[in-house]
Structure 1
């Protein structure tokens, strides 16, 4: 089967969506399918390249304001229409409703090609910068939701990573057939490992380590975690380890200095893919304070590595973090230090939560995700 992916963030970008899309594309190629990727280039020049048997059409692009290292394709409609005519795909799979997604959707509708839309998008992901604009916040938020729903209602079938995500879409007006399909996790790659050698690998101290890994962007609220540290440190000699990059990197580092936490917070920056399983296993607890997760691949990776998790009680995070079972949920920033300390103060509880994480993650085996998507492609192709 010939399958086109249309997306606005793809390898070598390291986002949850980009990593999922590439993993799915490479797995589909291994199962005998031909996969073509429409995504932005990193500069104002069209180009093609290959990756693991996939053919990537990088559409000329410009830097996207407000988003670290992101670009957006410039008027890709005519080029994408021509590329679709040449490829003659069996199905089109859009992964977000932005420039390439919209152009691909329109061309697929014109040529009567079946469309699967996977929704990874919430208004918070598109415009985190609207939140300071108090008078415009509500109308912009509602307008973005209307566009997301309009886009998805053009597809033949819609998926989203969680039931929470599907509930959001239906509450805002989704009409087409849809189901949740987990982003999934490679359980052979992410699994518990011995901690001490990995602490040495990253030159980390032999102390309790709290981890955040992912984008350093506003909706991730990494500042919540940093602000919890002074209270945590009054009762626990530990360190906070932060990996990743993003537009808030400097702001976060300034906050660390302001709170005199320079020696208590360790910034590892961007980590290559092969180091990700190692960093989870070098640490003891994963913390995520995000406002806008439709699943959270980093949380999947953390629980697959056997970590307990403290997470914000927002979005789809409660589907992965069962309060009191494999971690704790918090509603207000003031609750976060206590939740962290509760786990470290009871070794038996921490061990039970780690074991429960490993049980919960079994339902998210990536091999099942690939099979589910393959079944949907065949289903919409036959309609």
Structure 2
């Protein structure tokens, strides 16, 4: 099967950003399959066609006097022409961003088309703006208006749409949206297994948060929940790891709340150290104001640790009370209650951790890629029959 994959990609993408990890893993694993002829179409500094390991990389230059910031109108035209020249069996856009998603939807009459929505940019950008300096915030309101309108159009017109949690599917569904598939993000269990099996060395933090330090990720909500936890457990220790614009504010907040003896801020946490924290801790906290199943949910499950996650993290892999606990976003008192429950009940905490670990194989990357290939095959069959997939009725469960 020949697949035209449209996305933002380069070899030097930041490896620790969730969507970049997803894109890199999916490309690598699709390229390694004998049944997939992968053609990757991206934007770059020059026009080029390169044979890379297992795939053909088509790079479209995005510069030029007629290429406006954020828009690149001529790239969209060239992207559509490039896809037509490739003559793929299916077109797959990774993310709802312009121009990749736009091209995929424009081509839907000629080719089966699929869009993966990593999130809902319209929901996320309001939180990101809180971390922006004034000028950047103003420019965001100008330029991102186009992105938002494009995203709305794509979500309402894509014949096949992949989301990573049922709750996201419910949010994006419109009367004109095509078939919605729920495919949870992947986890490289083969790479993680030696780390999982290593014995914990020494003592570490009891509560772990490792993510980008932005308002969207909600580390300040965790800090606000900790005074009551510390009152009940004076020796409790929490790790807030990562880098980001909120870091200075978080350190001040910890000091103002009298938590300096209970909270560590290690900054950027390399994988090996992060996994050591996971082995040592009692729980992982994901207090996002908005997110789409961030990687700590999967990593915690792999290490057999229960997660306390906000409902706005869209933690579809977490079964409340079985593999972890879910609290209402921005509710520090609710988060405090969930943390205390797990600290008070060792048996429940260990039971949830075991249940999470027992299910983690469902999210191994080979299974995720198999799921994508099945979606490709089904979409191709439907397109050849000439019928657009029917949208699931309101309230129905999206396809798993």
TM-score (norm 1): 0.79
Unaligned runs of at least 5 residues, structure 1: 63-70, 134-140, 200-205
Structure 2 counterpart of 1:19 = 21
The alpha carbon displacement at 1:118 in A equals 1.2
Structure 2 counterpart of 1:325 = 322
Q: Which stretch shifts more, 29-38 or 18-27?
A: 29-38
CA 1:167–1:347: 2 relative to 1, 3 Å: same
Structure 1 counterpart of 2:223 = 226
Q: Give me the whole-angstrom Cα distance separating, in 1, the residues matched to 2:273 and 2:150.
A: 38
For the pair shown, the structure with the greater C-alpha radius of gyration is: 2
Contact 2:48 2:60 in 1 (8 A): yes
The alpha carbon displacement at 1:162 in A equals 1.9
Per the alignment, in what secondary structure is the counterpart of residue 196 of structure 1?
A: coil
1:287 aligns with 2:285: yes
Contact 1:80 1:103 in 2 (8 A): no
CA 1:252–1:54: 2 relative to 1, 3 Å: farther
Contact 1:8 1:100 in 2 (8 A): no
Contact 2:7 2:93 in 1 (8 A): yes
The alpha carbon displacement at 1:115 in A equals 1.1
Structure 2 counterpart of 1:160 = 163
CA 1:107–1:268: 2 relative to 1, 3 Å: farther
The alpha carbon displacement at 1:286 in A equals 0.4
Per the alignment, in what secondary structure is the counterpart of residue 182 of structure 1?
A: coil
Residues 233-277 of structure 1 show CA distances to partners (whole Å, capped at 9, x for unaligned) of 223213222333333333333333443444433333334556654
The one of 184, 197, 204 aligned to 1:193: 197
Unaligned runs of at least 5 residues, structure 2: 64-68, 135-143, 384-400
Structure 1 counterpart of 2:251 = 253
CA 1:367–1:79: 2 relative to 1, 3 Å: same
Per the alignment, in what secondary structure is the counterpart of residue 225 of structure 1?
A: helix
Per the alignment, in what secondary structure is the counterpart of residue 310 of structure 1?
A: strand
Structure 1 counterpart of 2:66 = none
Equivalent residues in 2 for 1:360-371 (5 A)? Answer: 360-371=359-370
CA 1:381–1:309: 2 relative to 1, 3 Å: same
Structure 2 counterpart of 1:340 = 339
Contact 1:40 1:73 in 2 (8 A): no
Residues 259-302 of structure 1 show CA distances to partners (whole Å, capped at 9, x for unaligned) of 34444333333345566544422433100111323323320121
Q: Which stretch shifts more, 187-196 or 335-344?
A: 187-196
- Provide the aligned C-alpha RMSD in A: 3.5
TM-score (norm 2): 0.76
The alpha carbon displacement at 1:314 in A equals 2.9
Structure 2 counterpart of 1:31 = 33
Contact 2:114 2:161 in 1 (8 A): yes
Equivalent pairs, count: 357
The one of 232, 240, 243 aligned to 1:242: 240
Q: Which stretch shifts more, 230-239 or 348-357?
A: 230-239
